[in-house]
Chain A
Amino acid sequence: MIDALTRYEFLQNAVAAVLLGAAACGIVGSLLFVNRLSSLAGGISHTVFGGLGFSLLARVHPLIGAASASLIASLALGWMSARKRERADAAVAAVWSVGMSLGLVFVSLAPGYKGDLMGYLFGSVLAITREDLALTALVSLASAVFLAFQYRRILAVSFDPEFSRARGISSGLLFGAFLCLTGLTVVVLMRSVGLVMVIALLSIPPATARMLTHRLPGMVVLSSVISALSGLAGIAVSWWLDLPAGASIVLCAGALFALVTASVRLLRSTAPVG
């Protein structure tokens, strides 16, 4: 595979995509996880399908349709769950299904060739372009800057909302910015694993990392590393066994999760008590 990697640009792009996207994945995924909002990524990604359908119908670039739909979905979800975080659950379910249905309607209305819809739904990491890579790097950088400069505020709002309100921290602005980042991360990950499986890359690596650390910075770093490893392993598996790359990446992340769960359980059960 090393030989193939030096020879084929599409393979180099695929590897670069999973490495560049790992930071966004680790940061956004961890923040979703600790706020128990992982399903939010699923809601946004299915709305992005609506945006893709619309771009087919209106004949605009799919990335523009996808990015606008993800931002609209993020802000709509933020608005619907702003007053009560517990409401997010129902809002996600509504946005998820309405977005998907809109996509199906738009696609059926669009005339002629339907483009590479399967690629968006199930990923096409081997067809990633230079522009995709640039966007991926940008979203990862934005996530890192957001976390570095708002770290204590993010912790305060997530850990103890009432205390942060009393401190006058504007959680609405922070939540809105975070939702937009989530939306853009979904668009970036859509290219590698597909809309249907984006939620996996934003929930499995942080869940794996959480078992290994009890601090957020450690969790962010570990889940970034785990998503990069899953991406690389997934590409390798799909290359050798001629399997779909997106599904292989998600399955590798799942296997890593199972491995870490089993090891942690085993260690705990054999550790001396007291």
Chain B
Amino acid sequence: MRSAVSLRGVSFGYQPGRYVLRDVDFEVETGGYTAVIGPNGGGKSTLLKIMLGLLEPWTGTVEVLGLPPARARHRIGYVPQASGAVLDFPVSALDVVMMGLPGGRSTKRARSAALSTMERLGIAGLSGMHAGSLSGGQRQRAFIARALVGSPEILLLDEPAASVDPEGQESFYELMAELNRTVTIVMVTHDVGAVSNHVKTIACLSTVMVSHGESLETEAVARAYGCSVDLVSHGTPHRVLGKHEGRGGND
């Protein structure tokens, strides 16, 4: 099957000589649903930015939908970490969703496209609300709507579960599974425990690609984190990783 995302031998750093990513190969097939986990500072967000064409790798090649990332931009939906937005900014939820469309004018067509995407995500009723007064879960849906409104083929999410309470997370993963029927999804998260039950493949990144497949090589992951996977998936009662049997969970 054609690759939606393909990185070969990618190395990158912010300072000369200090690698954040080293010789990373990473492949996501069309229709895939991949979670990238890894310790803080392991290069997860950097990997996303390289896929978005925001950062140029030192070495290696990057292709998204068979194109250089900067040329595939309009076919990628990006959900950045919520903390990047200015929350007291005077915009409504509808304004936020419209930001995902090309063009500059607030036309009727843009508004109705935004509204129908919000309807699909069950937040049409919030369209007039101030974006800053939405709850964590509502805001996250608005940001996902902003990424989806331009009908992307790939959805890239940076720590999407960070601002959502545990009940919200369950419905978030249901939403992702539903979206995955039409869109390839790559999600960066530190939340190993919750994510592993939902995705199709899981990658562990700690400067180098420690493992990537349908299951986690738990010992390799444990080395990457510098502690046992039991400790990594600390979220009791959400511990869903098997001890050392590879795929699946014992939830």
Contact = CB atoms under 8 A, between A and B. Distances in A.
B85 A160 contact: yes
B105 A148 contact: yes
Interface centre among B80, B99, B101, B106 (most CB of A within 10 A): B99
Contact of A215 (B53, B84, B91, B105): B91
B103 A152 contact: yes
A160 B130 CA distance: 15
A214 interface: yes
A210 interface: yes
B101 A158 contact: no
Interface string B74-113: 1010101000111001111001101111111110001000
Nearest to A160: B85
Given A163-B146, A164-B99, A215-B91, A152 B70 contact: no
Nearest to B51: A166
Contact of B99 (A150, A152, A215, A216): A152
Interface string A208-245: 00100111101100000000000000000000000000
B251 to A, nearest CB: 34
A135 interface: no
Interface in B39-56: 52-54
- Give the bracket for the number of chain A residues in contact with chain B: 20 to 34
Interface residues of B, number: 33
A159 B86 contact: yes
A167 B100 contact: yes
B80 to A, nearest CB: 5
A149 interface: yes
A167 B76 CA distance: 8
Given A152-B104, A152-B105, A160-B85, A210 B90 contact: yes
Given A34-B89, A166-B73, A219-B90, A159 B99 contact: yes
Contacts of B85: 159-160, 163
A216 B90 contact: yes
12 contacts: A148-B105, A149-B104, A150-B104, A152-B103, A159-B86, A161-B84, A163-B99, A166-B53, A167-B74, A214-B90, A215-B95, A216-B90
Given A34-B90, A214-B132, 14 more contacts: A149-B104, A151-B104, A154-B104, A155-B91, A156-B99, A158-B89, A159-B86, A163-B80, A166-B78, A167-B78, A168-B70, A168-B73, A215-B92, A216-B90
Interface of A: 34, 148-156, 158-168, 210, 213-216, 218-219
The 9 closest A-B pairs by CB, nearest first: A156-B99, A214-B130, A150-B104, A166-B78, A153-B104, A160-B85, A168-B73, A166-B52, A162-B84
